[in-house]
Each structure stands twice: as C-alpha cells, then as structure tokens.
C-alpha cells in the first residue's frame, strides 16, 4: 500500500539517504577541487601550463569514467555496490593526497641556463632573487611582459624577453607519483559513484511520477550544499594548518559518505540491486579490474604532463599531432561517435526519429561550449582569484583564493528553487522557453559572466587587483546560466533519443562534458602567466593575460549562444513536441 510508505518532504523516504550520501561525496570532491590547482602551482611549483593541463586532463577523466561505471553497474554490479566501491576508492584517493612531502624548491631558467631562486618575504611583500654565482639578482616583472634582474644597488643587470625566462620548481618525483596515483583513484572511484547514485534517485519514482523532476532538484541542492561547505572549510584548513589538513577533511567527508551508503540500516533495501544471477564473485573480479585502471590512468597523466606545445608555425596538423594521448583519444572518440550515431539513426530510424536525434546531437555539441567556459572555475578563475583579486569582504576579513569557488554552490542553493518556480509560472502561462532557447541563454550567460569580470578589470587598483564582487558577480551569472542548462540537459537526452540507444546517448552527453573539461584545460593553458616559486612575476601582465583570454571566450560564447537562439526554431521543430 503506497499510502503507508514513509515520505520525506513529500518524496520517497529513501531520497533522504541518497541526498546525504551524495552531499558528503560532493563535499569531498569540491573540497579537493578548491585546493588542487593551487596545490599544483604553490606546493609542487608547477608552471601554469603544466598545472592547468594536468587539471584539465584529470577532470576530463572524472567525467569520462561514469560511462564505464554506469555500464558495469547496469550489467553486473547493481548501482548500490558500485556506489560503495567508488566511495571507498575516492576516500583513499583524497587521503593519499594528504601525503605531499616538502614544498618544491624554486628555480628559474633564463635563456637556457638554470639558476637557483631565493624567496624573501617581509610585511606581505615578497621579493624573489636568482642566485648567479655569488651575486643575488632581484626578479622584477615589467609591464611590457619582460623580466628584469636587478643587482644589489637596484640597477638593471639585464632584461630578459618574454619567453626567455622559464620558471618551475624542483619536485620530488616520488611525491609527484603519489599525487598522480591519488588523482587516478579519484577518477576511477568517481566513475563508479557518480552515475549510479543518480540512477538510484531515478529508481525511486515510477515512470510518469510527477515528483521526479522536483526530486532531482532536491538532489541537486544536496550536491551544492555539500560543495559549499567544503569549499569554505578545506581551503581554510589548507591555509591555516597545511595542505594535508584540507585534503584530509575532504577524505573525512568522503569516508562519511561511504559510511552512509554502506550502513544504510536497510533504508535502501530493494534499490540499486544487481541484476539477477550476478553474485559477489563477479563483483570482486570487476573491482580488481578497476584497480588495474589506476596504473593505466597514471600512464595517461604522465603523458599529459610531459606534453610539449607545438612548435610555432606547426599548423593544424602539427597541433593535432602535438596533443597528448588523452586529447587524441577524447577528440577522436567524440568526432567518430557523433556522426556515427547520426548515420546509424538515419539508416535505422524513421524520419521523425532521425530529426529528434539530430536535435539532441546539436544540443550536445553546444553543451561542450558551455562547460568549457564554466569549468574555468577550478583552474584559471581560481588562479585569477589568487593573483588579481582583492580577497577582502567589506574590508572586514579576507577569504582565500580557493574559497571563492564557494560562490557557485551558494548561488545554486539560493536560486535553484526560485528558477524552478519561475519555469513553472512561465509554463502555466504557456511562455516557458524551449530547451534550445534555454541552452542559448546559458551560453550567452556564461560568456556574459566573463565579460562582466573583464569590465571589472578596468577598475583594478594600482596593485592590479579587482574587487571580490566582480568575481562574485561572474559566479552569480554563471550559476543562473548553469540552472538553464544542467538540469534540463539529461532529461532532454532521454526524451529525444531513440529508445534502443538511450544509454549510449547518455554516454555521449557525459563524453561532451569530458571533452569540455579537456578543452577547458587548453583554454586555461592559454591564460598561463609567468611564475617563480608559485608567485607571478608581474601582476599587470597577469591581469592583461586573463582579460585577453576571458574577453575572447566571453565574446565567442555569447556569439555562439546567439547562433543557437537563431537556430532554435528549427531545432524545436525537429524535436517534434518534446518539452
Ligand atoms: N555541479 C554539478 C555536480 O557536481 C554538475 C557538474 C557538471 O555536470 N559538470 O554534480
């Protein structure tokens, strides 16, 4: 008798346990994400290019593995066992990140010659020196992008052209390996966890249950509640106690998530069960195989980190050939899958089905543009916060650069219910925007967020830092845009796809986000600035670099959004009434 079933805010009571499990998982993930880029640049002293490239490759894998994890759960494991296994792996991944060894030693390569670097800090200003024999030369960035070396008397010893000065840190290969293995564990674990916890939420509702959409909205709130807590706390611990404490808190959150699903007290009995006849023995085999994925991913990461940019003038072919293995695999798969599936649909579907598949694919391609911009949050935007943002709140206290990531989650929690109510109101009047129009608005919005920040760049103080509110404004605009695209995307795919290949199309949706993460890494690499010992040599050049890249991607996305709006009547027609 359904009326005797316990409910939670009018939803099946099981939603409560799935909500808290996912909330603590996201607490771990976003706590780690708030630290990662800064950890790579300030602890390991990677240059921007390597740090943002590695970050892009890692997040690309995080969004690629759900394809496999979802498949394995459907066929063999059942969602619940997959979630438990993923939770353990991720928790050990974050725990492993706590072991980072000593901060790397900075050095600089000037015109091909390597020099030791000394950093002196007093009263909040840092001076960096290169040690040249028995001489000590202060490093000073010039506003035209060159770097001057000053002798003790303050006179210019020599000036090095842009690109003549490369800086990096001397790292322990052992601890770099430990860090990469930790990231591999998180990527593999996420593949088992993330798709399958969502599937379990879907299982709570019978087909046609009208509570399904609000159920997912509540779930999305849980995601962002978890993120916002850890994005405040993990960077706080990292700056006050040490990096290990920040990652440690992420690990604690993740162990808590595992505890909630492992010991559910029978609350989730009958949900996420394995298919009939799939016993624990098969599961053990799959876990063992998944662990083999860790060294495999390690090889991909190493290849990614050691990738060299193409030689100048190498052309498109040179660029493609210079892509790391992971880039070639990702782009290759996407470029084959999209036309391949469309050709299949043309042959196997009727005219109406084919048109709906084309509409879905077009939206999936535009989806790449959205996440490419949006996912700058973890890399270039966090570096921007660290370098070119006045991190003071009303002059009362300062937040840390990693903590600025919290704005997104905060605005999602604040606005998700309002947006949901807005769509309902508009729908009642028959003027709810169609899905392609919402996608177009999202693309224009994510671009507008960057243009807003670039506008703020004009009001930067003499220290080349903009007020925190410009960055908060960007995140507000980005969050509203996210609410136009992220919740609608998944359901759009299920509704437009030919039923026989809906699982595959979901995979292509995740693949598009994965490709976007990778491209986001490339964009962040273009926004690289010169650093020594994890600090930029020149804040003006840094601000100019960010403004240039943010302006370009902002305009590009706004224009692409307009194109999508112009195309939206045709796409809508080809959607054949799907809302
Ligand atoms: N913030 C959401 C989450 O972490 C969505 C992220 C995404 O789909 N790229 O679940």
pLDDT by residue (tens digit) across 466-489?
999 999 999 999 999 999 998 888
Tokens 């939670």, residue?
A: 8
The whole-number average pLDDT for the span 138-148 is 90
Q: Is 515 in the pocket of ligand 1 (CB under 6 A)?
A: no
CA pair distance 499, 519, nearest whole angstrom: 30
**Residues in CB range of 277: below 8 A, 6 or more apart:** none
Instruction: Check the CA dihedral 106-108-109-113 and report its sign.
Output: negative
Residues 6+ apart with CB under 8 A from 419: 480, 483, 484
CB of 411 within 6 A of ligand 1: the answer is: no
Q: Is 513 in the pocket of ligand 1 (CB under 6 A)?
A: yes
Lowest-pLDDT choice from 16-25, 193-202, 371-380: 193-202
Q: Is 303 in the pocket of ligand 1 (CB under 6 A)?
A: no
Strand partners, 11: 8
The interface predicted TM-score (ipTM) is: 0.95
Nearest CA to ligand 1 atom 2: 223
Cα of 212 from ligand 1 centre, angstroms: 19
Q: What is the pLDDT of residues 148-161, one digit of tens each?
A: 999 999 999 999 98
pLDDT of 2 above 60: no
What distances in angstroms separate CA 212 from CA 12, 87, 571, one per listed residue? 10, 25, 26
Position 1 pLDDT exceeds 80: no
> Which residue CA neighbors atom 6 of ligand 1 most closely?
486
pLDDT score for 313: 84
Comparing 49-53, 164-168, 418-422, the range with the smallest average pLDDT is 164-168
Residue 172, SS3? coil
Buried b (16+ CB within 10 A) or exposed e, 36-65: bbbbbbbbbbbbbbbbbbbbbbbbbbbbbb
Please give the distance, rounded to the nearest whole angstrom, from the Cα atom of residue 220 to the centre of ligand 1: 9
Task: Return d(Cα 122, Cα 362) in angstroms, integer.
Answer: 55
Q: Write down the pLDDT at residue 3.
A: 46
Q: Give the pTM.
A: 0.94
- What per-residue confidence (pLDDT) applies to 295? 94
């Amino acid at each position: 008798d359904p009326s005797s079933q316990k409910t939670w805010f009018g939803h099946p009571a099981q939603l409560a346990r799935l909500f808290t499990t996912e909330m603590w998982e996201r607490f771990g993930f976003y706590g780690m994400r708030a630290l990662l880029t800064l950890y790579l640049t300030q602890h390991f002293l990677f240059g921007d290019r390597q740090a943002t490239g590695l970050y892009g490759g890692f997040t690309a894998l995080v969004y690629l593995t759900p394809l496999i994890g979802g498949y394995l759960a459907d066929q063999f494991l059942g969602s619940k066992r997959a979630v438990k296994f993923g939770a353990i792996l991720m928790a050990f991944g974050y725990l492993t990140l706590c072991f980072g060894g000593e901060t790397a030693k900075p050095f600089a390569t000037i015109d091909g010659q390597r020099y030791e670097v000394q950093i002196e800090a007093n009263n909040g200003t840092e001076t960096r020196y290169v040690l040249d024999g028995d001489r000590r030369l202060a490093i000073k960035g010039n506003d035209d992008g060159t770097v001057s070396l000053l002798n003790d008397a303050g006179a210019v010893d020599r000036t090095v052209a842009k690109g003549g000065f490369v800086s990096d840190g001397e790292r322990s290969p052992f601890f770099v390996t430990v860090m990469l293995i930790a990231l591999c564990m998180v990527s593999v674990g996420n593949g088992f966890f993330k798709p399958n916890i969502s599937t379990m939420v879907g299982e709570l509702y019978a087909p046609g249950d009208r509570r399904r959409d609000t159920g997912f909205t509540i779930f999305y709130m849980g995601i962002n509640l978890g993120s916002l807590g850890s994005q405040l706390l993990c960077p706080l611990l990292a700056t006050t106690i040490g990096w290990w404490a920040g990652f440690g808190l992420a690990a604690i959150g993740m162990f808590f998530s595992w505890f909630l699903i492992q010991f559910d007290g029978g609350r989730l009995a009958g949900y996420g069960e394995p298919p009939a006849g799939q016993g624990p023995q098969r599961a053990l085999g799959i876990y063992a195989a998944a662990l083999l994925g860790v060294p495999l991913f390690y090889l991909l990461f190493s290849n990614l980190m050691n990738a060299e940019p193409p030689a100048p003038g190498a052309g498109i072919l040179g660029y493609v050939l210079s892509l790391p293995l992971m880039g070639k695999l990702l782009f290759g798969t996407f470029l084959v899958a999209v036309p391949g599936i469309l050709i299949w649909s043309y042959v196997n579907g009727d005219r109406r089905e084919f048109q709906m598949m084309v509409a879905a694919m077009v939206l999936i391609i535009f989806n790449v543009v959205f996440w490419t911009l949006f996912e700058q949050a973890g890399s270039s935007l966090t570096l921007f916060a660290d370098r070119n943002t006045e991190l003071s709140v009303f002059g009362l206290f300062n937040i840390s650069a990693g903590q600025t990531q919290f704005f997104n989650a905060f605005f999602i929690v604040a606005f998700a219910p309002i947006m949901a109510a807005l769509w309902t109101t508009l729908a009642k009047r028959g003027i709810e925007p169609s899905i392609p129009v919402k996608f177009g608005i999202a693309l224009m919005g994510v671009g507008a967020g960057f243009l807003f920040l670039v506008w703020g760049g004009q009001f930067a103080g003499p220290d080349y830092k903009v007020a925190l509110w410009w960055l908060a404004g960007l995140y507000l605009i980005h969050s509203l845009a996210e609410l136009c695209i992220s919740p609608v995307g998944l359901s759009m795919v299920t509704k437009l796809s030919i039923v026989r290949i809906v699982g595959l199309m979901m995979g292509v949706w995740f693949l598009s986000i994965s490709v976007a993460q990778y491209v986001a890494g490339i964009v962040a690499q273009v926004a690289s600035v010169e650093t020594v010992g994890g600090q930029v040599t020149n804040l003006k050049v840094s601000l100019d670099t960010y403004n240039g890249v943010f302006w370009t991607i902002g305009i590009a996305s706004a224009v692409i959004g307009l194109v999508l709006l112009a195309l939206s009547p045709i796409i809508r027609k080809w959607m054949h009434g799907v809302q």
